[in-house]
């Protein structure tokens, strides 16, 4: 009896529920609630998405195979003596920031060293891109296109961002096509992540994946606040930790690249190191914060400002410093001729000093004069940032895109610590290279990923 009553009640309740539920044709969200339209990012994105482009590149890379150097092998298989090449392709994103002149902001790792750049606009047009300049130190690059009816994004002041602000990332992840994701600002001022020398990243949980690099990070007004550049992920996919270069940095670098094709940075002219517990005890410091000066270059801005070996720099422009890397980072992100205020601790007393950053005078060398196989390569002494890494060596200042060195994989910003079996610590160590002329030119190169060999035939 009770079961029959329960079944009857259940059936009646189901019929009543069906009667009050809306039919399928009315199951969508209403356009307004209490007279107010539902919130949506769509109106803002209508102005943003046309300014975000897909960038595809082709890079010709020389394939080194020891069998091709064997004349018997080449004769047996009918191979000629010309080097073999393979074409590497990559995809990324970019942001139109000047519609009239066709300037696009993107990442250096998207277009750096590319032989061919193709920009695909939202309306489907494919346009050839020209590289204006790159800055590996901040991973920023500028590409120029010539096309009509372009739409650019306005650039916001990223220094006004706060943790918790809503942001939207737009790009082309995995080559799927333009994709929009949303999130918040998770952190500001992130550094020490590898991949570039000077860092002050915006961290966001808006989904960023491979292919998003160079794309736009925008606020809810549709203004550009950052250029998406990298993720932290054990799997290679998004886990909610993505990073973007703030527009305050990207914009300043862009202006220099457009004006000069390169970035001119200022230097204090000091070498510093972190404060270990032993150093803190030796100097009578209360903690390990700051950077201790280990060398002051004669005639440098630091020398003129009165800095001495053993001084501890505790803040720059009012921002506290916790390590030597933070000082190098802050210094490298400022343009040449910037005036900086330093808080310096000496003999237990704090003093304020002012210095004007001047472009570092670094010796350079045309590597083609040492060996014809290095034509198109310029070597230089290490700058302060590179020298602080402690590996020594010489820096690759520039590499022509179509040179033999570029085809072998040498890139601007690489640090050469050895040639053949010879350790290299300065340009002076290259004096005997021109007379040696080995059959294979083997360079030992230090990168963020470690040491590797570059072989130039």
The vertex-195 CA angle with 193 and 196, nearest 5°, equals 95
The per-residue DSSP string of 131-156 comes to: EEEEETTTTEEEEE---SS---PPBP
Which CATH number fits the domain that encloses residue 144?
Answer: 2.40.10.120
Whether 168 shows a pLDDT value over 90: the answer reads yes
Same domain, 103 and 135: yes
* DSSP state letters, 312-323: EEEEETTEE--S
Query: Which of 338, 359, 380 is the C-terminal boundary of a domain?
Result: 359
More confident of the two residues 317 and 335: 317
**Residue 224: pLDDT above 90?**
yes
My answer on whether 79 and 168 are in the same domain is yes
Asked if residue 119 is part of any domain, the answer here is yes
Q: Is residue 369 part of a domain?
A: yes
Residue 97 lies in a domain: yes
Cβ–Cβ under 8 Å, residues 55 and 92: yes
Structural domain harbouring 294: 266-359
Instruction: Looking at the structure, tell me whether residues 339 and 426 fall in a common domain.
Output: no
148 within domain boundaries:
yes
**The pLDDT of residue 233 is above 60:** yes
Task: Give mean pLDDT, residues 171-197.
Answer: 83
Residue pLDDT, tens place only, 107-150:
998 988 788 899 999 999 999 999 999 888 888 999 999 999 99
Which has more pLDDT, 145 or 12? 145
Residue 28 domain flag: no
Active site residues: 109, 139, 213
Tell me the CATH number at 388: 2.30.42.10
* Domain final residue, candidates 264, 298, 319: 264
The pLDDT value given to residue 14:
40
pLDDT tens-digit map of 258-315: 988 888 788 888 888 889 888 888 888 888 889 999 888 888 899 999 999 999 999 9
Q: Does the residue 353 lie in any domain?
A: yes
Are 109 and 188 contained in the same domain?
A: yes
Spell out the alpha helix ranges (H) of 127-276.
247-260
Q: Quick check: 15 pLDDT over 60?
A: no
Do 160 and 284 share a domain, yes or no? no
Of the candidates 120, 299, 326, 153, the one whose C-alpha atom is nearest the C-alpha of residue 226 is: 153
For residue 449, is pLDDT > 90?
no
Does 255 lie in the same domain as 222?
yes
pLDDT at position 119: 93
Residue 53 belongs to what H/E stretch?
A: strand 52-63
The pTM (predicted TM-score) of the whole model is 0.66
Are 244 and 279 contained in the same domain?
A: no
Q: Provide the 10 A C-beta neighbour count for residue 284.
A: 9
Q: Per the domain annotation, does 15 fall within a domain?
A: no
Q: Do both 108 and 235 map to the same domain?
A: yes
pLDDT at residue 342 above 60? yes
Distance CA 179, CA 212 (A): 9
| 94 and 106 together in one domain | yes
Q: Which helix (H) or strand (E) holds 379?
A: strand 377-380
Q: Give the end of a domain, one of 229, 264, 299.
A: 264
Tell me what the pLDDT averaged over the chain comes to. 80
Same-domain pairing of 174 and 315: no
Q: How many domains is the chain built from? A: 3
User: Does one domain contain both 246 and 283?
Assistant: no
pLDDT band, very low/low/confident/very high, at 451 (cuts 50, 70, 90): confident
Spatial separation of the C-alpha atoms in residues 54 and 216, rounded to whole Å: 11
What average pLDDT does range 331-358 have in this prediction? Answer: 87
Residues in Cβ contact with 316 at an 8 Å cutoff, skipping those fewer than 6 apart:
327, 330, 331, 340, 341, 342, 343
Q: Tokens 């069998």 — which residue?
A: 67
- 115 C-beta neighbours (distance < 10 Å), count: 15
**Residue 89: how many other CB atoms lie within 10 Å:** 10
Spatial separation of the C-alpha atoms in residues 228 and 250, rounded to whole Å: 11
pLDDT of residue 433: 66
Residues 392 and 411 in one domain: yes
The pLDDT value given to residue 262:
83
């Amino acid at each position: 009896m009770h079961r029959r009553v329960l079944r009857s009640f259940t059936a009646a309740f189901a019929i009543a529920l069906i009667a009050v539920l809306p039919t399928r044709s009315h199951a969508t969200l209403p356009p307004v609630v209490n007279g107010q339209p539902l919130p949506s990012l769509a109106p803002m994105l209508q102005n943003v998405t046309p300014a975000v482009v897909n960038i595809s590149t082709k890079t010709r890379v020389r394939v080194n195979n020891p069998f091709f150097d064997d004349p018997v092998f080449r004769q047996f298989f009918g191979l000629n003596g010309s080097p073999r090449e393979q074409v590497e392709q990559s995809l990324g994103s970019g942001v139109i920031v000047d519609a009239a002149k066709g300037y696009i902001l993107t990442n250096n790792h998207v277009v750096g060293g590319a032989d061919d750049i193709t920009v695909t606009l939202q309306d489907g047009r494919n346009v050839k891109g020209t590289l204006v300049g790159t800055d590996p130190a901040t991973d920023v690059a500028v590409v120029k296109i010539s096309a009509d009816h372009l739409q650019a994004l306005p650039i916001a002041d990223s220094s006004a961002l706060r943790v918790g602000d809503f942001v939207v990332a737009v790009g082309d992840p995995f080559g799927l096509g333009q994709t929009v994701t949303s999130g918040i600002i998770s952190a500001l001022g992130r550094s020490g992540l590898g991949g570039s020398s000077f860092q002050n990243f915006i961290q966001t949980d808006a989904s960023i994946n491979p292919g998003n690099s160079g794309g736009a990070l925008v606020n809810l007004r549709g203004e550009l606040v950052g250029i998406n550049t990298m993720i932290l992920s054990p799997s290679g996919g998004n886990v909610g930790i993505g990073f973007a270069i703030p527009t305050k940095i990207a914009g300043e670098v862009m202006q220099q690249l457009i004006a000069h094709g390169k970035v001119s940075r200022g230097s204090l002219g000091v070498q510093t190191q972190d404060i270990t517990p032993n150093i803190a005890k030796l100097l009578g410091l209360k903690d390990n914060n700051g950077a201790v000066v280990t060398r002051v270059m004669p005639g440098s801005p630091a020398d003129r400002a009165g800095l001495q070996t053993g001084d501890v720099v505790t803040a720059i422009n009012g921002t506290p410093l916790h390590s030597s890397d933070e000082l190098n980072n802050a210094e490298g992100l400022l343009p040449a001729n910037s005036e900086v205020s330093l808080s310096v601790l000496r003999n237990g007393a704090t003093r304020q000093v002012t210095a004007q950053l001047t472009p570092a005078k670094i010796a350079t060398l045309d590597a083609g004069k040492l060996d014809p196989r290095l034509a198109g390569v310029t070597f230089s002494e290490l700058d302060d940032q590179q020298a602080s890494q402690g590996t020594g060596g010489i820096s690759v200042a520039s590499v022509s895109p179509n040179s033999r060195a570029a085809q072998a994989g040498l890139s601007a910003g690489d640090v050469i610590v050895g040639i053949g079996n010879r350790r290299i610590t300065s340009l002076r160590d290259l004096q005997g290279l021109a007379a040696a002329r080995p059959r294979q030119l083997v360079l030992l190169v230090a990168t963020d990923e470690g040491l590797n060999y570059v072989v130039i035939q």
